[in-house]
């Protein structure tokens, strides 16, 4: 059952930087939202736990997934997030103020891995550096990146606790989960595969001096109908999700273990958790150590593709002259879009040293890609993989997938997903290849 695109839509709705310009928010809704934002922003410490239940029905089958997300925070940089999914396993992000750990323990995937780096100096940077992990967790049934992102923003001094909000209408006070709460009927915006969607959502915010977000019920029925009509989802598919606050505290007591990380007994330390989750090289993304992606060290598969700007590119024309960086992507892929500016920036830095970059778009119309690039302000060489033949040759089952090919025409590295340290990682790899070193 295909659920990734739907959940990514929710993640996209939560990834917009601010409420939509000119959002139609009535006075009572604005007052309620402002109170909730001010309440969370002034907290020095907090504890909260949400339970998400998702039910997907399609082709005569119904699948129910449950996840819990537990967040503890102690400003400025002590943080722990523990996401437990009933089928996948657990995802953790933990900052002890000095070191930042991200981990996945997913027995059903045969994966137990973690990364370690210096802690960001505040929560906003913590969110930014782990956006890829949150997007990926939203692609698994039972997880909801929009709720996770909201909790993150509410635990910082963000300008608005609700991103992508287009309208909000106050609907009164009602009881939910045994507490009195303000209900706001809101509409969020999302964009995927070149189509704009609206997501009506019921939001409940507790009455009183502690206005926690008590629950969110997004109504995805219209979006699902549109996606079914476009052929992106099976006919008759339904998707329902609820998000409920089950624990909260403004002055929690933290012990020594709250912000301490202990890897699972069989966990492997890796460079990129995204690569590890999606099957990247060596579960680390640099091509070194562990099991390599099948392309590493082998001749790059040949191809000839149309350039969006006109003409054709044959990969063979670069052999013996250039280092080639390929990135398989699509306009609807949030992590792809987030990675693109970094890929362009890093490869441009080395273009005088015969480094060439191609963004290989998968199966999208010329006009859609052209309009998207113009809207985003991306200026780069785009190849059009209309049939997906190049992506298949490079084993790009998940995107973004970035491939580095040396001057001899051999694959030096393959990265699947958006690495949190993409700029440093890609810069270091290109520097090594330019020195004549192998990454594998």
> Minimal CA–CA distance to 56: which of 151, 144, 170, 161?
144
* CATH code 2.50.20.10 region(s) in the chain: 4-269
Please give the residue that has the higher pLDDT: either 323 or 389: 323
* Residues 6 or more apart whose Cβ sits within 8 Å of residue 134: 11, 145, 148, 149
Q: What is the mean pLDDT of residues 292-307?
A: 86
> Minimal CA–CA distance to 391: which of 333, 437, 342, 432?
333
Q: 107 falls in which pLDDT band (50, 70, 90)?
A: low
**E strand intervals along 155-280:** 165-176, 179-192, 195-206, 213-218, 238-249, 268-269
Residues counted in the chain: 440
> Minimal CA–CA distance to 79: which of 38, 141, 129, 37?
129
Distance CA 275, CA 273 (A): 5
Distance CA 185, CA 203 (A): 6
* CATH code 3.40.30.10 region(s) in the chain: 285-434
Q: What is the mean pLDDT of residues 298-325?
A: 95
Burial of 56 (0-12, 13-18, 19+ CB in 10 A): buried
Residue the block writes with tokens 């298949």? 392
Tokens of 203: 């939001």
Distance CA 402, CA 410 (A): 14
How remote is the C-alpha of 158 from its chain's centroid? Answer: 19
> Worst-scoring range by mean pLDDT, 47-61, 122-136, 281-295?
281-295
CATH class, 285-434 region: alpha beta
Q: What is the mean pLDDT of residues 261-268?
A: 79
The correct answer on CATH 2.50.20.10 for the domain covering 4-269 is yes
Q: CA torsion, points 369, 228, 88, 62, in degrees to nearest 10? A: 180
Task: With a cut of 70, say whether residue 10 has pLDDT above it.
Answer: no
Task: With a cut of 60, say whether residue 158 has pLDDT above it.
Answer: no
Give the pLDDT of residue 18: 38
Q: 396 falls in which pLDDT band (50, 70, 90)?
A: confident
Distance CA 172, CA 3 (A): 33
Q: What is the mean pLDDT of residues 89-103?
A: 87
205-255 confidence digits (pLDDT tens): 999 999 988 988 888 887 777 777 766 566 777 878 888 989 989 999 999
Q: CA torsion, points 370, 371, 372, 375, in degrees to nearest 10? A: 130
Query: Which residue blocks in 301-408 are alpha helix, DSSP H?
Result: 334-349, 366-376, 389-393
Give the pLDDT of residue 434: 95
Tokens of 44: 């020095």
How remote is the C-alpha of 223 from its chain's centroid? Answer: 20
Q: What is the mean pLDDT of residues 389-394?
A: 87
Residue 4, classed as helix, strand or coil, is helix
Task: With a cut of 90, say whether residue 89 has pLDDT above it.
Answer: no
Residue 153, classed as helix, strand or coil, is helix
């Amino acid at each position: 059952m295909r659920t990734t695109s739907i959940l990514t839509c929710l993640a996209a709705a939560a990834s917009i930087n601010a409420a939509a310009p000119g959002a139609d928010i009535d006075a009572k809704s604005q007052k309620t939202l402002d109170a909730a934002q001010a309440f969370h922003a002034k907290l020095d410490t907090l504890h909260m736990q949400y339970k998400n239940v998702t039910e997907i029905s399609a082709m005569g089958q119904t699948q129910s997934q449950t996840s819990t997300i537990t967040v503890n925070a102690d400003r400025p940089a002590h943080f722990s997030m523990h996401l437990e999914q009933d089928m996948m396993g657990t995802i953790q992000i933990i900052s002890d103020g000095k070191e930042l750990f991200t981990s996945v323990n997913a027995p059903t995937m045969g994966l137990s891995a973690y990364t370690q780096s210096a802690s960001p100096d505040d929560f906003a940077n913590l969110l930014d550096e782990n956006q890829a992990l949150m997007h990926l967790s939203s692609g698994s049934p039972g997880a909801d990146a929009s709720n996770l992102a909201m909790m993150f923003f509410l635990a910082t001094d963000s300008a608005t606790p609700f991103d992508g909000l287009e309208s909000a209408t106050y609907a009164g006070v009602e009881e939910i989960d045994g507490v009195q709460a303000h209900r706001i009927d809101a509409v969020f915006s999302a964009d995927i595969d070149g189509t704009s969607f609206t997501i009506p959502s019921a939001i409940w915010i507790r009455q009183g001096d502690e206005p926690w977000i008590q629950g969110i019920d997004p109504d995805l029925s219209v979006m699902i109908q549109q996606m079914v009509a476009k052929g992106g989802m099976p006919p008759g598919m339904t998707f329902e999700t609820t998000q409920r606050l089950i624990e909260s505290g403004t002055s929690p007591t933290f012990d020594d273990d709250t912000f301490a990380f202990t890897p699972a007994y069989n966990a492997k330390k890796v460079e990129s958790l995204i690569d590890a989750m999606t099957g990247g090289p060596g579960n680390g993304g640099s091509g070194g150590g562990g099991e390599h992606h099948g392309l590493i060290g082998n001749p790059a598969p040949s191809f000839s593709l149309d350039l969006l700007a006109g003409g054709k590119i044959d990969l063979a024309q670069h052999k013996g002259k250039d280092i080639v960086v390929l990135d398989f992507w699509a306009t609807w892929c949030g992590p792809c879009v987030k990675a693109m500016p970094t890929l362009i920036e890093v490869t441009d830095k080395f273009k005088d040293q015969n480094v060439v970059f191609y963004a290989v778009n998968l199966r999208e119309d010329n006009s859609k890609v052209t309009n998207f690039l113009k809207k985003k302000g991306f200026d780069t060489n785009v190849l059009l993989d209309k049939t997906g033949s190049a992506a298949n040759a490079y084993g790009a089952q998940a995107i973004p997938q970035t491939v580095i090919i040396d001057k001899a025409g051999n694959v030096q590295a393959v990265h699947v997903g958006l690495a949190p340290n993409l700029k440093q990682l890609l810069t270091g790899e290109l520097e090594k290849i330019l020195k004549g070193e192998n990454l594998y």
